[in-house]
Amino acid sequence: MGGCKDSGSTTEMGSGDHAPPTGFSERIPIYDFDKLESKYLKINSSETYIINFWATWCQPCVKELPAFEKLYSQYQNQGVHLVLVSLDFPDKLETGVIPFVEKHDLKGEVVLLDDPDANTWIPKVSESWSGAIPATILLKNGTRQFYEQSFTYESLEKEVQNLLKR
Amino acid sequence: MKKSFLVTTIVLIAFLGFNSFKCNEANESAGYLIGDAVSDFKLKNVNDTFVSLSDFPDAKGFIVIFSCNTCPYAMASEDRIIALDAEFKPKGFPVIAINPNNPEAQPADSFEKMKQKASEKGFTFPYLYDDTHSVYATFGAKKTPHVYLLHKEQGKNIVKYIGAIDDNVRDADGVKDRFLANALYELLEGKEVTVKETKAIGCGIKS
């Protein structure tokens, strides 16, 4: 059980990203919101970051994941990055998230956000976010675009292409 | 004066138009805001009777919670919802739970499965089926669980609080701030609710 009591120490694991991967749990770091924010949400780069909030139990999230993966595979060489932020409960990392990532062979970077105080961090992602998932951020040059919606491949590609033109 | 009002309006419309274009459907159905009066509804309960807010003439208000059978966040909240009903129904604020999900999108949220859930968990409150998937849209609920606290004022049910039950959906023992209960205590003391809106992660409503 990786309960929330452990979140302090498991958060530290995040800084061990460069340790040799011995298993998926090493490759799926658990972050609190501050860590997630500093590592991804504040990136100021000319490359494009797609940051998708999802969970294995969220049907519409699971349904749209192939579109994100396909887009990532086709646009990776144009400087597009994909970060899949799982909101699964941390005790489901081993039994739910890792088997899911393995089964679907996800290529995007998967991280688990373990931060129970959602009322504090949801508005930091976007003031307009109700907290429903799926939700997605597109990030380029330090500017975030936030979407509380499901994407198809076409609708996602359109948004990404618009960003790539800038 | 009139002219500047017109200009402001045009600018506002242009701004809103641009925004809704940019954000797609995110902000289209706003639903109820704090201070709005709620329209009554008539929905089928798990005991096959119909329930409306007007069926509770003695209630001081209502804890309306959009919830469902399947969402892990809703399931993690079930015991807390039962406890809220036990604490606040005697004080005049009964819980009314509403399942907004379409069983065609989520078969385990069917009316039959709702009956099963209510009986297994021993729900002490109405668990209503939003069969036309319209009541949640009128409220503007986006996810499960999603709470609307209503206070009866001059015969109208006024929205006093929108959001989460507390600050830790996952772990009842880790709760530091009981947002909804605090709002209820304030209403019961005749005070204004201080924290009127909170955010929580939830399952998008499957309609």
The pLDDT value recorded for residue B4 is: 53
Q: Please answer whether residues B106 and B66 qualify as being in contact, where contact means their C-beta atoms are separated by less than 8 angstroms.
A: no
Which domain range does residue B115 map to? Answer: 31-204
Cβ neighbours around A120 below 10 Å, total? 13
Same domain? For B14 and B110 the reply is no
Q: Which residues of B touch A (CB under 8 A)?
A: 22-27, 71-72, 105-106, 142-143, 146, 163-164, 167-171, 174, 177, 179, 198-206
| Domain annotation covers residue A16 | no
Mean pLDDT of B189-197: 97
Partners of residue B75 in chain A, C-beta under 8 Å:
none
Residue A156 scores a pLDDT above 70: yes
A85: in domain:
yes
Residues of A whose CB is below 8 A from B200: 118-119, 122, 131
Closest Cα in chain A to B164: A119
**Residue B142 bridge partners (DSSP):** none
Q: Is residue A17 part of a domain?
A: no
pLDDT of residue B180: 98
Q: Which H/E stretch holds residue B80?
A: helix B72-88
Cα separation, B138 vs B141, whole angstroms:
8
DSSP B37: B
Distance from C-alpha of B23 to C-alpha of B21, rounded to nearest angstrom: 6
pLDDT in tens, A5-38: 333 333 333 344 444 444 455 579 999 999 999 9
- Of the candidates B152, B168, B150, the one whose C-alpha atom is nearest the C-alpha of residue B160 is B150
Give me the CATH number covering residue A126.
3.40.30.10
Point out the least confidently predicted range of A111-115, B22-26, B140-144.
B22-26
∠ CA(A79), CA(A83), CA(A88), 5° rounding? Answer: 170
Residue B52 and residue B110 in one domain: yes
Residue A140 domain boundaries = 28-165
Tell me if chain B has a CB within 8 Å of the CB of A127: no
Q: Are strands A135-140 and A143-147 parallel, antiparallel or unpaired?
A: antiparallel
pTM over 0.90: no
Total number of domains in chain B: 2
Measured in whole angstroms, the distance separating CA A157 from the mean position of its chain's CA atoms is 18
Q: For the beta carbon of residue A163, count every other beta carbon within 10 angstroms.
A: 18
Q: How many domains does chain A have?
A: 1
Q: Is the pLDDT of residue B205 over 60?
A: yes
Average pLDDT, chain A: 86
Which residues of chain A have a CB within 8 Å of the CB of B174?
Answer: 4, 116
Tens of pLDDT, residue by residue over B52-86, are: 999 999 999 999 999 999 999 999 999 999 999 99
